[in-house]
Structure 1
Amino acid sequence: MKILAMVALLALGAAPAAASPHWTVCDGSCSFDVPPGDYEIEAFLTGQTGLDVEARRIALAPVDTMAGQYVHRSVTVEVRTPEGMPSGEDGPGTPGLQVRLTGPSPKPIRIAVTPKPRAPRIFVISDSTAADWTSLPKNGWAQALPEFFRAGPSVRNYAQSGASTVSYLADARYFPRVRPMIRPGDEVLIQLAHNDKQTTEDVYRANLATLIDGVRAQGGAPVLVTPPVRHRFGADGKLTPLGLVVNNLGVDLPAVMRDVARQRKIPLLDLTARSQALVEGLGEAASWPLYLTLAHDGVDDATHLSRYGAEQYAALVARAMAEARLPFSLFLRPERL
């Protein structure tokens, strides 16, 4: 892997020259006793080491260094209760900030955690395809999105399994909770479609408009994200309408979302088109590892993503953000795109 960040030749026990007084060594996993909020994590990584935080969020992808080399990485993350999905259905999690080393050959690291109460935020309003899944094997693409950003914006993933545009607006744990958190300048990615199976086109359009208006009323910047495709192939080797997220009433939900974005003059990240190109380009068999498979995960699931799939789809979203020149795309890590 090409290393683009600063490389330092350090002894593990020696703090960096401009070190915070709160540097510590993390070996395997560690916990920081901090209240909910946004925090910058700085780490000096060596070996083949990365970082997951909280509910299996991928904060830093594993680096690959030569012996004796240390790579400086930083990322901004959110600490919250519950750690995972906003329903709390998988429990509240562990208090404080949980950090776990990842990678094929993780090595102990130097790490520091600093509060960032005024960090800009990228909110994600979505369903299970983007959610922070606490337990294996499911993964959401927004669970992997932090690894594509250097320190600056905090990815606040409030995607909820089973959520539709109807339930996300109606349930007090979802949009009524998220909306007051949004501050002027925050970006809000809205991807709700998979569970709008019986939602008419008029209601779907109206619900998207309500979400957009609610974000704008807080001074936030709404961004529509079309849904990732399902792994549903026809005999012709192309994705079926179900795979392309056409609902049970025949409503082409991604097409409606594209039209709403055009009419409301807001950015659109077309994850449907990008994931369709990826999946169909690989073919039915070769694209299965993006999703959950019987051989690897104990279940064939044409909707939910493997960790590998979550990272691939997060990369599609990050590239779309860069191409759309969204303000926070300035913080994207070029080596991850």
Structure 2
Amino acid sequence: MSPTPAPTSSRITRPRTPLQAAPSRVGLLGTAGLLTLATLAGTGAVAQTASAVPRALPAGCSGTSPITCHYGVAPGNYDVTVSVGGVTAGQTEMWAEARRLMLPVTRTAAGAVATYSFTVNVRQPEGQPTGQGGTGNPGLDLRFTGAAPQVSAVSVRPAAQPLVAYLAGDSTVCDQPAAPYTGWGQMITTAVRPGAAIANYGDSGESSGSFLSNSALLAALLSKVGANDPVFIQFGHNDKQTSASVYRNNLTTMISRVRAEGGVPVLVTPPVRRLFDGNRLTPTALHVNGAGADLPSEMRAVGAAQRVPVVDLTARSKALVESLGPSASAQLFLRSSTDGVTDNTHFSQYGATRMAGLVLQSIREQNLPLAAYLR
């Protein structure tokens, strides 16, 4: 597959002026059914009387269940504020771009509106950087789902120099374009406050070596990294025959290149596979590979040698999966009975949510750069 070129916009250019677009496409100001920007400034809920609740969908939006909204913006980072709710009771969740969950299921009473803000990273292709699973639509796409989705207002404007947390990883991390497959990077987004965005450069099938060598991956990520932006690096699933020395060298090279751009590297040991021997996970599940390399141990050693923080997702996911046991742990992964496929490596949406929670827990405990922006 030919690499997809990185967006041409400069990584140090961060637009500050409000978005201007044709009224027929976006209509962010002065459009019926849209709250004022002053009303939309907060991140919490705003209750209104039924008579004040807009009945029309915001410009750029269509449909009923789901409701989809499209805005023809250039690649970059955007502050997005939405108001959910309406005349009748609602139950709404919001997804951005390639299945990034921004707002979990939110219930609103009849006549009430709840307003929330996010900072969203827009790329092209919008999902996996090599275009696996499709390249999506240019611009910003929002999708409102749930039992009774409602959206009464949308505001989009360029973000002013947000912190951007970059994710470098494989299929267990990436923005998976189609359910039921879900990467933990698609679920971590619900916890991030406005002022910070997640830019997920995870890509299916990548090893530490292939991510380094493909210009659509590490090089494209680094072209956007700004000063003090964290870069979370998780590899291991596809390093099945990588020697310990090559794996260490690959990680060390990534660390050096991130630091050269002013970014803050953070290593993430790979989450376990669901492969049991009795009630304990096997060495293969724990990423002792075919070359005899204990990849999580090697990553921890690199972290210590390079003075790089390590999110030990292997240890945390091992504790979770083994605590659930061989049977109950299946819900974290893909099951034939519910997903149409049995897969003990890739996560269900529930499993990806639990893995994201483990990553977030470590970020908070270590007070990593993204911690100050977590809800």
TM-score under structure 1 length normalisation: 0.91
- Cα distance change on mapping 1:105 and 1:222 into 2, 3 Å: same
Amino acid at match of 1:327: P
User: Within the alignment, does 1:39 sit opposite 2:39 as a pair?
Assistant: no
Cα displacement (A) at 1:105: 3.0
CA distance in 1, matches of 2:139, 2:61: 17
Cα displacement (A) at 1:170: 1.0
User: Within the alignment, does 1:5 sit opposite 2:47 as a pair?
Assistant: no
Question: 1:77, 1:146 within 8 Å by CA — same for their partners in 2?
Answer: no
- What secondary structure sits across from 1:173 in the alignment? helix
CA distance in 1, matches of 2:184, 2:148: 24
Q: Which residue of 2 aligns with 1:159?
A: 202
Q: Which residue of 1 aligns with 2:233?
A: 190
CA distance in 2, matches of 1:281, 1:110: 43
Amino acid at match of 2:202: A
User: Within the alignment, does 1:110 sit opposite 2:149 as a pair?
Assistant: no
Q: Which residue of 2 aligns with 1:30?
A: 69
Q: Which residue of 2 aligns with 1:88?
A: 131
- Cα distance change on mapping 1:266 and 1:90 into 2, 3 Å: same
Cα displacement (A) at 1:23: 8.0
Deviations 1:148-169 (A, max 9, x none): 1111111000001111111011
Question: 2:125, 2:138 within 8 Å by CA — same for their partners in 1?
Answer: no
- What secondary structure sits across from 1:63 in the alignment? strand
* C-alpha RMSD of the superposition: 1.9
Deviations 1:185-242 (A, max 9, x none): 101000011101111001111110000000000000000011111111112x111111
Cα displacement (A) at 1:48: 2.1
Q: Which residue of 1 aligns with 2:27?
A: none
CA distance in 2, matches of 1:204, 1:25: 47
CA distance in 1, matches of 2:146, 2:193: 19
- What secondary structure sits across from 1:231 in the alignment? coil
CA distance in 2, matches of 1:257, 1:7: 46
When structure 1 is superposed on structure 2, of 210-219 and 264-273 the one drifting more is 264-273
User: Within the alignment, does 1:260 sit opposite 2:299 as a pair?
Assistant: no
- What secondary structure sits across from 2:69 in the alignment? strand
Give the unaligned 5+ runs of structure 1.
16-21
| Percent identity for Structure 1 against Structure 2 | 43
Question: 2:273, 2:286 within 8 Å by CA — same for their partners in 1?
Answer: yes
Deviations 1:51-82 (A, max 9, x none): 10111111121223333333221111111111
User: Within the alignment, does 1:293 sit opposite 2:335 as a pair?
Assistant: yes
Q: Which residue of 2 aligns with 1:317?
A: 359
TM-score under structure 2 length normalisation: 0.82
User: Within the alignment, does 1:142 sit opposite 2:181 as a pair?
Assistant: no
- What secondary structure sits across from 2:216 in the alignment? coil
Query: 216, 238, 244: which one pairs with 1:201?
Result: 244
Q: Which residue of 1 aligns with 2:4?
A: none
User: Within the alignment, does 1:78 sit opposite 2:121 as a pair?
Assistant: yes
Cα displacement (A) at 1:25: 6.5
CA distance in 2, matches of 1:110, 1:7: 12
Deviations 1:277-336 (A, max 9, x none): 111111111111111110111110000011111111111111111111012211111xxx
Q: Which residue of 2 aligns with 1:281?
A: 323
Question: 1:229, 1:243 within 8 Å by CA — same for their partners in 2?
Answer: yes
CA distance in 2, matches of 1:104, 1:164: 39
CA distance in 1, matches of 2:193, 2:212: 31
CA distance in 1, matches of 2:304, 2:355: 23
Structure showing greater Rg? 2
Cα displacement (A) at 1:117: 5.0
- Cα distance change on mapping 1:52 and 1:249 into 2, 3 Å: same
Cα displacement (A) at 1:266: 1.4
- Cα distance change on mapping 1:206 and 1:93 into 2, 3 Å: same
Question: 2:193, 2:374 within 8 Å by CA — same for their partners in 1?
Answer: yes
CA distance in 1, matches of 2:115, 2:188: 19
Question: 2:53, 2:112 within 8 Å by CA — same for their partners in 1?
Answer: no
Amino acid at match of 2:357: A
When structure 1 is superposed on structure 2, of 254-263 and 24-33 the one drifting more is 24-33
Give the unaligned 5+ runs of structure 2.
1-42
Q: Which residue of 2 aligns with 1:227?
A: 270
